[in-house]
Every structure is written in structure tokens, then in C-alpha cells.
Amino acid sequence: MEIEILEEQKPKAILVGLKVNSNKNNENIEESMEELEELAKAAGIEVIATTIQNRPAVHATYYIGKGKTEEIRDLCKVQELDFVIFNDELSGSQIRNLEEIVEVDVIDRTTLILDIFAQRAQTKEGKLQVELAQLKYRLPRLVGLGKKLSRQGAGIGTRGPGEMKLETDRRHILRRIDDIRKQLEDVKKNRETQRAQRLKSELPIVALVGYTNAGKSTLMNTLLKRGEGFSETQIVFVKDQLFATLDISLRKLSLSNKLEFLLTDTVGFVSKLPHDLVNAFKSTLEEVKYADLLLHIIDASNENYDLQKDTTTKVLKELGVEEKNIISVFNKSDKLKDQLTIPKDDNTIYISALNEVNIDGLIQIIDKYIGKKIQQFKLMIPYNQGNVASQLHKEGEVLTSTYEEEGIVLEVKLESIYWEKYKKFRKE
């Protein structure tokens, strides 16, 4: 007799959004709520209903109106819901007040994102970064979340740091935050050592940045498959969901004798990304500071790509890299009906990473910025710097050597990566 194994039932939730009528800078609330639903699905939650309330201002006690809160309570009972998920960050007291009425767990957007990160983090560094963000989020909410923080068990909002009694929470959290920071500092030193070794190789670095699920990892795999000596072990994980990958991937890519570089993927961004999470991952994101070229991957099929583009640009500004060479790569262009809606310029390209549309065009742009450009120079090397002449024979092509009174005059062909290194020896 076969035993039927029933699939574990997903927790059910209602999503709640608030549109403040007096706020002229209101985002597209419908788009934001759609994204919240994708986040909920990524966390393993089934969304039963969505509601948006219009109010002149945020309610200090319940965030939304008390009447609306009671409506949600009734729906929770009828639908047997497990969670009420809010589209904004709530205070500890607001969560406590809401839970007293709705009688189910209330979580906010920040908690949801932190939970997804806690589920997805694979490396020790990634797990530490997420735990640090979770603890920093909890610290100012200890009083408001007293009962909630004392609960034991698993589920949304409980992944990562263990739960502790309120009277000892603050002491434990502060001690744990200090411990994590020390561990991350050690990891940072190791990364800086590895980075220094990479920079010594003088290979240019291309970094993929962009909104979560825009197709960065898919593009990385597509480019890797074009490389010489490609191996399946180089492939990075890809899944059609928000924050499928959190950990940075770095691969050496040789597309031709003249185009070799290091390709790095970075964690994706999302609107209203928790500030503590951005800070926690800043040390990881700092890799983009050392990139010679940034490919900003944008989901062209998303009607609100502008919001996603602006979100990424904001984070890049926080990292101080907005002045770097940045190419806007509109991915999933095969799904785009009207390309006239997107500006076209020399720093913009349309591709489909999945279907390999216009990948050759993208490679040409990469080559334009970081490809090896060879130029012929005449250099004067003083006799007391004979080691420089020896190095030139290794790094360039020496065409002629002439011994003069001041030193050795060499005619050499040099790649662009060496131009700066030897410019002081230039002889007109």
C-alpha cells in the first residue's frame, strides 16, 4: 500500500498597504504591493487578499485606522489567516497594538525581507550580515515587541538570532552585535587580501548590479558559456524569484586573447530595502568600488522599470560609485512591446540574457571599455633601472633596443593596462 505524503500547507496572509493622501511623493502603491506579494511568495507565504487604505496621515497607534484593523481581524477569522503583512516598517508598539486586535502575527516589510535574507544566506559572512541587520532592527523595538520576542518556535520573523526573555534581551543583543562586528571585520580583512591579489593580476573587473530578479545571474551564466575553457562548475545558481542569490560570485572570463576580465555578480536591490541591511551588506557591495565597468541590469519587461532603476542608482550613490562607467543593460527585451518608451544612447543596450539576444553587442561594449588596446611607444629606461627593461620584455613586445648615454631606448607595444605604469619613461 502506497502512503500519500501531503504537501506542507503554506501559511496564509493578507497584505496591507497605506496611501497617505497628503504625501505628494507617494510611490506607485499598486506596484509596491505587487512587489510585496512577490516577497511574501519568496518567503513561502500564500497571499489570500490585498487591501490598500487611503488616509490623510499615518495612524500613530495602528498605522492604519482602527476600523480597518477590525475589518482585517474579521477576514483573518473567516479565512483562517496566519499573518497580516504591512507594506511599510512598523514600530514595536504598532505591531503589538495591531496584534491585540487582529489576533494573528503581524509582520512588516522589513521583517519579511530580513526573513528572506536569513533563508537564502549561504556563506558564513552572509549569515552574519543578515543576523546583524535583524538584531539592529529588533533593538529599538524591545519594549513594543516584548511578548513577541519572548516566543519560541520557527516561522517568519524568528529565523536567525535565537529568541530571549525581554529582561535580558538588550544585554544579549548588544553583546551579540559586538561579536558579529568583530567577526565581520576579520572577514573583511581576508577579503581585502584576496582583492589585493586580484588587483595585482591587473585583470579588469566588470560588476553586474541591479534590481533583484532582473536577470544578473542569468546574464553571468550566458557570458560564462561564451568563455574559453568553459566548465559547468562555473555556473551560478539561477531561479525566477526575488533574492534567489545573496552571495557574491566572482569568475574569470576569457572571451578572446584581447578580452579577459573578472566578472562579479552582486546582491540584488529592492525598493524600501531596510537601511540596516544595506549597511550590513555594504562591505560586500564595496566590491563594485573596484570595478572598471558596471553593467546595470534592468528588467525591460517591467512596466515600472524606472522605479527599479532609481532604487539601484540610489544605492550606487550611497556607495559612491555613480561616477564610474555604467552601462544600462535592459534585459528581457524580447518581452518588451514598445522599445520607444526607453531612451536609447551609447550607454544603453537591449538584450535577452535567457535567449541570448544581442549578447555579441554587449560584449562589444565591454570590449570598448576594458578590452586590451595596444599602442606603440618609445621609452627611455635609465641604466640604474634595468629591472624595468626586463619587466617590459615580459609585459610588452619590445621591437627595438638602442643604448644611449642616458639609458636604453626601447620601442615597445604595450596594452592599455600598462600605459599608466610606464608613462614616466615616455620619450617623444
Mapped onto helix, strand or coil, the DSSP state of residue 373 is coil
Please indicate, yes or no, whether residues 30 and 84 belong to a single structural domain of this protein.
Answer: yes
Please indicate, yes or no, whether residues 16 and 91 belong to a single structural domain of this protein.
Answer: yes
Please indicate, yes or no, whether residues 388 and 304 belong to a single structural domain of this protein.
Answer: no
Closest CA to 174 of 140, 126, 150: 140
Q: Which domain holds residue 314?
A: 202-370
Please indicate, yes or no, whether residues 76 and 34 belong to a single structural domain of this protein.
Answer: yes
CATH code of 420's domain: 3.30.70
The answer for residues whose C-beta is within 8 angstroms of residue 65's C-beta and 6 or more apart is 53, 55, 59
Classify residue 231: in a domain, yes or no. yes
Classify residue 405: in a domain, yes or no. yes
Please indicate, yes or no, whether residues 258 and 358 belong to a single structural domain of this protein.
Answer: yes
Please indicate, yes or no, whether residues 84 and 131 belong to a single structural domain of this protein.
Answer: no
Please indicate, yes or no, whether residues 69 and 147 belong to a single structural domain of this protein.
Answer: no
Query: CB–CB of 379/426 below 8 Å?
Result: yes
Q: Where a domain ends, among 68, 97, 116?
A: 116
Parts of the chain with a pLDDT under 50: 1-7, 150-154, 162-164, 340
Q: Where a domain ends, among 116, 143, 163?
A: 116
Please indicate, yes or no, whether residues 130 and 99 belong to a single structural domain of this protein.
Answer: no
Query: CB–CB of 69/92 below 8 Å?
Result: no
Tracing cell 591579489 back to the chain, one arrives at: 197
CATH code of 262's domain: 3.40.50.300
pLDDT of residue 3: 42
Please indicate, yes or no, whether residues 361 and 296 belong to a single structural domain of this protein.
Answer: yes
Q: Where a domain ends, among 188, 212, 246?
A: 188
Classify residue 298: in a domain, yes or no. yes
Query: CB–CB of 380/409 below 8 Å?
Result: yes
pLDDT of residue 4: 46
Per the structure, how many domains does the chain have?
A: 4
Which DSSP state fits 372?
Answer: -
Please indicate, yes or no, whether residues 56 and 133 belong to a single structural domain of this protein.
Answer: no
Half-sphere exposure of 16 toward its Cβ, with a 13 Å CA cutoff? 28
Classify residue 6: in a domain, yes or no. no
CATH code of 24's domain: 3.40.50.11060
Query: CB–CB of 257/201 below 8 Å?
Result: no
Classify residue 45: in a domain, yes or no. yes
Please indicate, yes or no, whether residues 71 and 139 belong to a single structural domain of this protein.
Answer: no
Please indicate, yes or no, whether residues 218 and 148 belong to a single structural domain of this protein.
Answer: no
Taking phi over 0 as left and psi of -120 to 50 as alpha, with beta for the rest, 215 belongs to left
Can you tell me the distance from the alpha carbon of 300 to that of 348, in angstroms, rounded to the nearest whole number?
12
Measure Cα distances from 367 to 94, 254, 355 in Å.
53, 12, 21
